[in-house]
């Protein structure tokens, strides 16, 4: 299996910082710190200096508190680590106390509060604090092969768990939504997951028309649509999959709406290609549903990026901006929802490739009646 080259990730970020016009970036989002260094503690800040050069002494620093003294040494052996409870404040102070420090310091304005910024400006009035939102997220959007490998493992854990759930009769009349959700979550852990991506959605009967229904004590009954939206995590990387089943026997209307959503989902998957506008990917699937007269019943965007977060860039929807990049990991999840009656969503996790997208969630998308 490939390994993580955190140094290359930081080098790519330095290029973005130079283009942005700052000498350094203060990274305070913990997932971004994990991406750039491998550190997984609950308190840290990272100062990435754009002026570092290969072979020269690095001015890039990570700061955490005493709880993580050993951990930071093990997880981040290639950077100088400093210990201070006030991690961000300490690094800002170091920037201000040296003539070699940055003059223009970027900060992650999408995660920093107004009060935090005010405190930093009071601490280091000589520094020019520059908004630099989502620069690391821009890098995270394209997955390297190590990341794709972790996504494959997370998707495999979910696929295996669902297969076992079906084989042992876990989807049956009389069970509650909560019972099904708890068993599915346990099975993901049994089959290679470190944790779950989010609270598992189990929605039966009329509840399946609620896109993000939370499981209740409602019981599964004959003739119900049963929608399962779930995912596993492996080393921080998330999978996301939705499958919709019918209990007992399927009515004609259920077969028709299922086939419609499956056709739309196939169109969305086929549209995934480098350079394609994300809004065009959404339109490829949405137009299928609109042509059938159910456009107003497709209540959400087509999909989203997935990785260290369950929802990350790029967003794939009608109002989405930008184009797909090779290596982006995304979901494709159209749905049609009849309020008070039931609904269908089919979702896969895929990686955008130069040829055709790589499908990571492998459970059949044929209509399964259990």
Digit-coded pLDDT (tens) for 50-84: 988 776 667 899 999 999 999 999 999 999 999 99
d(CA 120, CA 130): 12
pTM (whole model) above 0.85: yes
The pLDDT value recorded for residue 1 is: 44
d(CA 202, CA 193): 19
The pLDDT value recorded for residue 15 is: 95
DSSP letter for 296, please.
Answer: G
Report CA 135 to chain centroid distance, whole Å.
16
Cα torsion angle, 175, 176, 177, 180, sign: negative
Contact at 8 Å (CB) between 48 and 13? yes
The pLDDT value recorded for residue 41 is: 97
The pLDDT value recorded for residue 97 is: 78
Contact at 8 Å (CB) between 169 and 183? no
pLDDT at residue 208 greater than cutoff 80: yes
Query: 210 to each of 118, 239, 257, 345, how far by Cα in Å?
Result: 42, 21, 15, 10
The pLDDT value recorded for residue 55 is: 65
Percentage of the residues of the chain whose pLDDT score is greater than 90: 94
In this predicted model, what pLDDT tens digit does every residue of 93-104 receive, in sequence order? 988 877 666 789
The C-alpha angle 366, 368, 370, rounded to 5 degrees, equals 175
The pLDDT value recorded for residue 100 is: 67
In this predicted model, what pLDDT tens digit does every residue of 216-238 receive, in sequence order? 999 999 999 999 999 999 999 99
């Amino acid at each position: 299996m490939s390994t993580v080259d955190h140094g290359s990730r930081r080098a790519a970020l330095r290029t973005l910082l130079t283009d942005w016009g700052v000498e350094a970036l203060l990274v305070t989002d913990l997932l971004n710190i994990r991406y750039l260094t491998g550190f997984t503690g609950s308190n840290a800040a990272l100062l990435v200096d754009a002026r570092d050069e290969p072979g020269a002494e690095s001015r890039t620093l990570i700061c955490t508190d005493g709880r993580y003294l050993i951990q930071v040494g093990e997880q981040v052996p290639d950077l100088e680590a400093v210990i201070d409870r006030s991690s961000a404040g300490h690094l800002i102070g170091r920037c201000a106390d040296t003539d070699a420090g940055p003059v223009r310091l970027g900060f992650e304005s999408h995660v920093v509060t107004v009060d935090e910024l005010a405190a930093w400006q009071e601490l280091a009035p000589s520094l020019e604090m520059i908004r630099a939102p989502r620069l690391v997220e821009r890098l995270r959007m394209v997955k390297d092969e190590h990341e794709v490998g972790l996504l494959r493992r997370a998707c495999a854990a979910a696929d295996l768990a669902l297969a076992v759930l079906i084989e042992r009769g876990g989807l049956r009349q009389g069970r509650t939504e909560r019972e099904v959700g708890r068993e599915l979550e346990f099975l993901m852990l049994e089959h290679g997951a470190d944790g779950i991506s989010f609270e598992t959605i189990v929605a039966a009967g009329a509840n399946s028309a609620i896109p993000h229904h939370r499981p209740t004590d409602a019981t599964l009954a004959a003739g119900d649509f049963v929608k399962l939206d779930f995912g596993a995590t492996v080393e921080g990387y998330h999978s996301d999959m939705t499958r919709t089943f019918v209990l007992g026997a399927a009515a004609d209307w259920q077969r028709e709406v299922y086939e419609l959503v499956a056709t739309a989902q196939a169109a969305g998957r086929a549209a995934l290609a480098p350079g394609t506008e994300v809004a065009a990917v959404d339109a490829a699937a949405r137009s299928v549903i609109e042509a059938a007269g159910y456009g107003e019943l497709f209540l959400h965007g087509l999909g989203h990026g997935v990785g260290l977060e369950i929802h990350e860039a790029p967003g794939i929807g009608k109002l989405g901006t930008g184009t797909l990049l090779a290596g982006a990991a995304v979901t494709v999840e159209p749905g049609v929802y009849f309020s008070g009656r039931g609904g269908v969503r089919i979702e896969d996790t895929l990686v955008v490739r130069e040829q055709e997208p790589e499908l990571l969630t492998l459970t059949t998308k044929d209509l399964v009646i259990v």
